[in-house]
Structure 1
Amino acid sequence: MTRIILFNKPFNVLSQFTDKGTESTKRQTLSDFIDVPGVYAAGRLDKDSEGLLVLTDNGKLQNRISDPKHKTTKSYWVQVEGIPSEEALTALREGVDLKDGRTAPAKIRRVEEPQGLWPRTPPIRFRKSVPDSWIEVTIAEGRNRQVRRMTAAVRHPTLRLIRHRIGEWRLADLAPGTWRDA
């Protein structure tokens, strides 16, 4: 029987079970939170991003979730610097040009700060002179740091990025650093 684990990856944790760094540069990994043999992350979430990570012991399922050709959608709450104009949001919806090519169209909408959101440690940088706002971004691609590069391309750098949905799986009320079987 396939095992599927949903994990709320905290900020500054690697999406892998081991760290190849030296002892003096050791970083937190999945093994600091999950002691289940034989499961592996289906896709990645940058160490400076938070939220839902799906782990499984089924290689075919792992591939289906992480390979962009299967078009598994992933949704993110993104706190950005500034308040994006309709023009900026339209550009994100239609696709933006990045160094590795144009992104596929994305679903973009303005949202309020998500309910029940946990504080980030360390907190994001705050500037009195520059407001921030939240958008929800849904994509089916999975390029390296794609959402961050997309928001930067429309001049609204990402301050905080939280993945809350992968396909049918949702973060729901899973606290940071905790996991549950799906």
Structure 2
Amino acid sequence: MGIQERRSNFHAFAEEPATLYVAENVTLRALKIGVTSTASRSNRIHTNERHGWRTAVCLPFTDGHGALQAERALLEFVRSCGATQLVNKAEMPQGGYTETLAFADVAGIDVDQLADLARIAFNMVAATNKLPYALKQREREIKAIVQEFLDVGQKQKAREFLEEISRLLERAMAAL
């Protein structure tokens, strides 16, 4: 099951806790990066284990969004490094072949290295999802929008935008 496919299936559980995992299959000479929801009736880790995969690391996320974010970052990183060969779809009847690294041993990538990268992704997602970081990001975005208005001579639009932001912040504070 590909990441796009899984997103649609996983979407119902995206607000629920989820686990990012890294597994290996010696017979297939492959590594796998995956996500499973703790709210789902089926556990992808157990399903994969029944098909010869050994789980090397499980990293718990408070929600599926963070787990998918880390999985996506890991996959993009290893693919950008040249690890683009996938396990054949027929060799993974349980799905998930698009999140695999075939012939990982030939590339010199082992499960411990991938597990270390998963831990780094886990920590990065956790750090950047904390409120101070998120607020700083929103501040930068607001400044950029205001600057765009000012760059095209729309000072009044910039003022109106900031007034709307101010009203939203006041409502948020009142709700606390």
Same fold by TM (over 0.5)?
Answer: no
Higher relative contact order, chain-length normalized (CA < 8 Å, sep 6+):
1
Identify the structure with the greater helix proportion. 2
Give the TM interval when normalised to the shorter protein: under 0.3
Q: Which structure would you say has the larger Rg?
A: 2
TM-score computed with the length of structure 2 as normaliser: 0.26
Identify the structure with the greater strand proportion. 1
TM-score computed with the length of structure 1 as normaliser: 0.25
